[in-house]
Structure 1
Amino acid sequence: MTDDPARRWYLAQIKPNAFQIAERNLRRQGFAVFAPTLAQTVRRMGRTIAEQRPLFPGYLFVGFAPETAPWRAINGTYGVSRLVSFSAAVPAEVPLAIVSGLIARCDDAARLLPPKVFAPGTEVQLIGGPFADFVATVEAMAPDRRVWVLLECMGQTARVAVPVEGLRAR
């Protein structure tokens, strides 16, 4: 996604409930689009469901070469509210290090991957299962990508094994 050396990244503000529309229309116009998502557990009607939610709700990254691309058309794209800018003349460029760092942390479908390892003593938040949104302390990492955490529940400390994908650094 960062293969074009002339490409720079900018931030587009999206209209409410128009994320897929804006993404589809920007891609049709030939712009590179990057919208990282994060797995979150939500409760609906008493059930726990894992969903992919935008990491930056209401925004997505748009990549183009400002010298050659018709970037002013982005502000008129259906689903896009505007390109973020601090002056009327040019949009604000997002530093390449930020975007390339995010791209490196995501898989091919732009899903944010969990950190590779957690150090003992690190506070983490559980993002899935019956203990979603609970805060725990990492005790150890097992070789099979399981993390042993200490979870405080009803005045007791419990030692629980959790897959690394089910944790988020706090």
Structure 2
Amino acid sequence: MTWYVLQHKPAQGDRALHNLQNQDVPCFYPKIQVEKVRGGKRVKKLEPLFPGYIFINLEQTNAVWAKLRSTYGVLRVVHFAGKPAPIEDAVIEQIKAGMDKVSELGDIRKGQAVELENGPFKGISAIFQAYDGEERAIVLISFMQKQQQVSVPVSTLKT
């Protein structure tokens, strides 16, 4: 069994996934929770990690290959030189491991104690306040007997 990539039609990723699963095709359609500002309010929404693409795990000899292009929601199989482009298992495992880490960090709530792992504040305990964009967070640290707000990269936080 090897992983391959399918391109789905615009805004039909869930439909393609559902129809592929009905055909017993092992699929991986990674989604992450994203926080966006809509109408002046922060809204959390699940979005595909790779918009427009679904990973499938099939043998080259599987009869399902002939049905893929006619599956509702599927646009085409990603290929090079007329052959489907294989994806290494290690790449898929890395994506899954990365998603687990993102979901752990996504659970941080205001007032939760965190520790800073890297940078000038390495090893210091802090209190999470808010996200500052997509890659930074605002935390409170005790410095010189006073609470200070500091903006740090989200990747340095450990719960």
TM, length-normalised to structure 1: 0.64
**What is the number of residues matched between the two proteins?**
133
Cα 1:113–1:130 change in 2 (3 A) is closer
Contact (CA 8 Å) 1:11, 1:59: kept in 2 or not? yes
Q: 1:87: Cα distance to partner?
A: 2.1
* Secondary structure at 1:76 match in 2: coil
Corresponding residue for residue 43 of structure 1: 37
One of 12, 16, 24 as aligned partner of 2:10: 16
1:119 aligns with 2:117: yes
One of 90, 95, 98 as aligned partner of 1:97: 90
Query: Which one-letter code corresponds to 2:95 in the other structure?
Result: L
Q: Would you tell me which structure has more helix in proportion to its own residues?
A: 2
**2: CA distance, partners of 1:60 / 1:113:** 20
**2: CA distance, partners of 1:83 / 1:29:** 16
Q: 1:48: Cα distance to partner?
A: 0.3
Alignment gaps of 5+ in structure 1: 1-6, 123-128, 138-146, 151-156
Contact (CA 8 Å) 2:13, 2:52: kept in 1 or not? yes
Same amino acid, percent of matched pairs? 27
Alignment gaps of 5+ in structure 2: 106-114, 121-128, 142-147
RMSD, matched Cα: 3.3
Q: Would you tell me which structure has more strand in proportion to its own residues?
A: 2
Q: 1:20: Cα distance to partner?
A: 1.0
Query: Which one-letter code corresponds to 1:121 in the other structure?
Result: G
Corresponding residue for residue 158 of structure 1: 149
**1: CA distance, partners of 2:134 / 2:79:** 38
Corresponding residue for residue 83 of structure 1: 77
Contact (CA 8 Å) 1:36, 1:54: kept in 2 or not? yes
Contact (CA 8 Å) 1:149, 1:161: kept in 2 or not? no
What's the CA shift string for 1:76-135, capped at 9, x where partnerless? 2110110100022x211011110122233445xxx95357x963129xxxxxx8644165
Cα 1:168–1:42 change in 2 (3 A) is farther
Corresponding residue for residue 125 of structure 1: none
One of 26, 40, 43 as aligned partner of 1:32: 26
